[in-house]
Structures are given as C-alpha cells and as structure tokens.
C-alpha cells in the first residue's frame, strides 16, 4: 500500500497534467473498495480473477506470496484516444516506478504543465 499512498500524495501534480491514475489489483472487491476509500484520488479496480491482467499479458507466474501467479506491476501510459503511448514493467515484482518517474514520463509524452 506504500505505493498507493505515494501516488495519492502526488494527486495535485497528476491533476495539473490531466492524468488519471487507475490501479488494477488482484485483491477482492472488498479490499479494492477499502483502498478506494483510503486513496480517493486514485481509481481502484479489483481484478480478483486476473481476467484483465491475463488478457493484457501482465501476469508474473509464480511470483505471488504462495508461489501463485500474480499481477506484474505494470504502468500503461494511455492517451485520450485509448492508445498506449508507453509502458513500464519492471523485471522484479518488488520494483515500482516512483511517482516522480511517472510524472516525468507523462511530461515527456504530453509536455509539462504550463
């Protein structure tokens, strides 16, 4: 949850850029609902059956807590037309892009706010 808190802290910067942060988690709906309440500036979606992650090829086989398959931490940068403009997927499940890196990539793709 540390990552969600760090993203939430940057909500003003994301808003300046017109960026919406959507988090897809393999947690059950109840947990996603609690996370949504804790991080109101993010959009939290439950993918408990991993159907979205499987459809997008974003499963990290055997990397879960009990050696089960889990969602690979992935960031998609999607423009207003639905085109994926960039993607970040670390090789290790514990690695994540920092909010500063996410903002820098958004600035590179769409320009920094004026």
Asked if residues 27 and 46 have their Cβ atoms less than 8 Å apart, the reply is yes
* CB-count exposure of residue 41 (10 Å: 0-12, 13-18, 19+): middle
Ranges of H-type helices in 10-114: 11-16, 29-38, 51-55, 99-110
Of 89, 85, 88, 47, nearest to 72 by C-alpha is 89
Report pLDDT for 94. 66
84 token code pair: 């994926």
- For tokens 């037309």, name the residue: 81
Mean pLDDT is lowest, of 2-6, 14-18, 61-65, 97-101, for 61-65
Q: What value does the mean pLDDT of the chain take?
A: 87
Of 43, 55, 49, nearest to 28 by C-alpha is 49
User: Which domains are assigned to the chain?
Assistant: 2-108 (3.40.30.10)
**For residue range 82-110, what is the model confidence (pLDDT) as tens digits?**
998 988 876 666 667 789 999 999 999 99
Element (H, E) at 6: helix 2-9
| pTM of structure | 0.80
- Per-residue pLDDT band for 9 (boundaries 50, 70, 90) equals very high
- Per-residue pLDDT band for 68 (boundaries 50, 70, 90) equals confident
**For residue range 39-49, what is the model confidence (pLDDT) as tens digits?**
999 999 999 99
Report pLDDT for 28. 93
């Amino acid at each position: 949850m540390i990552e969600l808190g760090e993203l939430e802290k940057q909500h003003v910067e994301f808003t300046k850029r017109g960026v919406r942060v959507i988090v897809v988690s393999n947690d059950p709906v109840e947990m996603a609902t609690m996370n949504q309440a804790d991080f109101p500036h993010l959009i939290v979606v439950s993918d408990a059956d991993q159907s979205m992650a499987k459809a997008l090829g974003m499963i990290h086989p055997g990397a879960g807590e009990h050696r089960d398959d889990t969602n690979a931490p992935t960031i998609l940068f999607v423009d207003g037309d639905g085109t994926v403009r960039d993607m970040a997927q670390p090789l290790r499940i514990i690695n994540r892009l920092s909010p500063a890196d996410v903002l820098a990539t958004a600035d590179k793709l769409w320009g920094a706010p004026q």
